[in-house]
Structure 1
Amino acid sequence: MAKLVVRCFTLSLDGFSAARDQSLENPFGTEGIRIMDWAFATSTFRKMFGQAGGSTGIDDKFAREADQGIGATIMGRNMFGPMRGPWLNEEWKGWWGPNPPYHTPVFVLSHHARPSIPMEGGTTFHFVTEGIEVALKKAFEAAKGRDVRLGGGAYVIKQYLRAGLIDELHLVLTNKLLGAGERLFEGTDEIAKTYECAEYIASETVTHVRLVKRT
């Protein structure tokens, strides 16, 4: 049965998924990109950016598996881009350039409607204004039996956690401190009753944690 999953969602040591002051130049906020150092060092991520080399150990295994079995993605508007309010600049098509790394339908949660955006490589951004459950229904339909990935950011994941809709979360715990930003688990007091730790693996740089919904 198809699942809603979170994969490779990275947190600072003090529990933040991004720093303050997100902008076009700083998608993770001021110096927040540091928490992604583990990923940029892997062979999988380097290949994604047209680079050679990179690590091929535990971290690369998780990075490589992040796309396996995924048929669609859901993300918040904050993950799509730094703009707020009505779409004043429809020339902006996301952080990733003309060929985003998703290669599947992507459903962006927003309060403001916008026409779908087909991109190179099979990615099409669809904008959903009816809420998280409608977005999930559309994503499962588009995934055609494959899993749906919940990309983030933290606020969107918290909404799905509170609704009990996430089947599995793969989190990456780093040794970086951000000091401020958005915490993933703030306001999700029932998570210990709903999920359990199924995997806990440390590499040389980070710790990979997989939480699954209790049956």
Structure 2
Amino acid sequence: MSKLRLRISVSLDGFVAGPNQSLQQPLGTGGEQLHEWVFPLEAWRRPHGMEGGVVNESTPVMEEELANLGATIMGRNMFGGGPGPWSKTDPWEGWWGRNPPFRHPVFVLTHHARDPLILEGGTSFTFVTDGIESALDQARRAAGGKDVSLAGGARAAQQYLKAGLVDEMQLHLVPKLLGSGERLFDGVEALHALAMMKAVTAPNVVHLKFARNAM
């Protein structure tokens, strides 16, 4: 069976987003700092249609993280568009434009039904209203034997961690203190046998990989 792989950047004090999240500031105050390590990477820029970029110790981590993925799951906040029912006159299509970098099916956890959204480059968004298990079942079917990425945000990650459904967890630990915002492990009382496999130190980040039954 394909693996569910969580990948997320986190501050030293455990936050994956800062306070005051909004459409103008989706990662909250200071939250953008958690991703500054990845933006210059050639391995990140290439899937986003950008040229150039640096190669460093984070490069093989990113390449491994992006390999063998056939679908992605994310929460409503990560997809964006604000809370509540979807607008019928100006429907939100995500933060990534008409050609998102996923290039495979994406399943969005939400309380509000919406027709699937088909964009360029092979990316589609399916809006799942009947829970995390349904989203994972649909994602695994769509992945066709490949792994499923759990992209975040915090509440989506917490739900899957609490349910013991995460097979691998890649934490990008950034040496920043946000002080407040959304904590990754709020309410998560057990990590269901996830044990650390590997640590990689790179410029402005430490990559910590955990896996089920790694010990």
| Structure 1: runs of 5+ lacking an equivalent | none
Tell me, what secondary structure is at the counterpart of 1:152? Answer: coil
How many pairs are equivalent?
213
Aligned to 1:175: 175
In the alignment, structure 1 residue 27 sits paired with structure 2 residue 26: yes
Q: Which amino acid aligns with 2:54?
A: S
Tell me, what secondary structure is at the counterpart of 1:88? Answer: coil
In the alignment, structure 1 residue 166 sits paired with structure 2 residue 166: yes
Aligned to 2:137: 137
Q: Which amino acid aligns with 1:153?
A: G
After TM superposition, list the pairs within 5 Å mapping 1:8-19 onto structure 2.
Answer: 9-19=8-18
| Structure 2: runs of 5+ lacking an equivalent | none
After TM superposition, list the pairs within 5 Å mapping 1:26-175 onto structure 2.
Answer: 26-89=25-88, 90-175=90-175
1:50 Cα shift? 4.2
Which shows bigger deviation, 65-74 or 118-127?
Answer: 65-74
Q: State the Cα deviation string for residues 54-96 of structure 1 (Å, max 9, x = none).
A: 2212112222232210001100000000410111255310011
Q: State the Cα deviation string for residues 130-153 of structure 1 (Å, max 9, x = none).
A: 000001000001111010111110
1:194 Cα shift? 2.0
Which shows bigger deviation, 81-90 or 43-52?
Answer: 43-52
Contact 1:23 1:82 in 2 (8 A): no
Tell me, what secondary structure is at the counterpart of 1:180? Answer: coil
Identity %: 47
Q: Which amino acid aligns with 2:28?
A: G
TM-score (norm. length: structure 2): 0.94
TM-score (norm. length: structure 1): 0.94
Contact 2:75 2:152 in 1 (8 A): yes
Tell me, what secondary structure is at the counterpart of 2:183? Answer: coil
Q: Which amino acid aligns with 1:202?
A: T
Tell me, what secondary structure is at the counterpart of 2:18? Answer: coil
RMSD: 1.5
